[in-house]
Amino acid sequence: MRLIDELAARRLYYHRPLPTLPDILLIDIPLRFSGGGLALGRYYPVILESLAEMHEFEAYLCEPRMTLVAPALLDRRPSGLRTSEIIFARYEPQIPDWPWLLICFWPQSYTDMVPPSADTFARGSYTIDAYATEGELTDAELKLLATLGPEQARIVRSVANRLGNA
């Protein structure tokens, strides 16, 4: 069996809003494997920082296996993005009925505040949340900005990804 035939049969690529940000592959996990640890109870996001990683991950999904495994190939690979600023980026679905994504890049000064055992950050630097609507994403983004406070909020960069824009 291959992951691409069963576990990752339904998936969508969300293209990066800026060249320095990652693409996201969002896998719609079948109901029998879905649960509370997934975004909206069913989606598994994969952060792809390069074209080489995209090809590597697609090959991973196509490998024949004896049993199904979690598609966690890149989850613990350190991010190559380096910046001292917090980055919020919106990823708009390119087809209906897929969620909006909010990806946050957290600089090392922030990730160092969390114990490594907490397993909070994908690739050591990212958090990703999924929302059914753009309005829900906007509300969550505003709440997150409010928790940062005025000093930290000055270093946040928010990036929107709109259809028709690169």
Residues whose CB is less than 8 angstroms from the CB of residue 5 and which lie 6 or more positions away in sequence, other chains included:
none
* Tens-place pLDDT, residues 3-57: 999 999 999 999 998 888 999 999 999 999 888 889 998 999 999 999 999 999 9
* Tens-place pLDDT, residues 58-111: 999 999 999 988 898 998 899 998 888 888 899 999 999 999 999 999 999 889
List the chain domain ranges. Answer: 3-159
Residues whose CB is less than 8 angstroms from the CB of residue 35 and which lie 6 or more positions away in sequence, other chains included:
41
> Could you give the CA distance from residue 155 to residue 103 in angstroms, rounded to a whole number?
16
| Sign of the C-alpha dihedral computed for residues 81, 143, 122 and 164 taken in this order | negative
> Torsion angle, CA of 72/122/135/7, rounded to 10 degrees?
0
Instruction: Name the residue with higher pLDDT: 154 or 106.
Output: 106
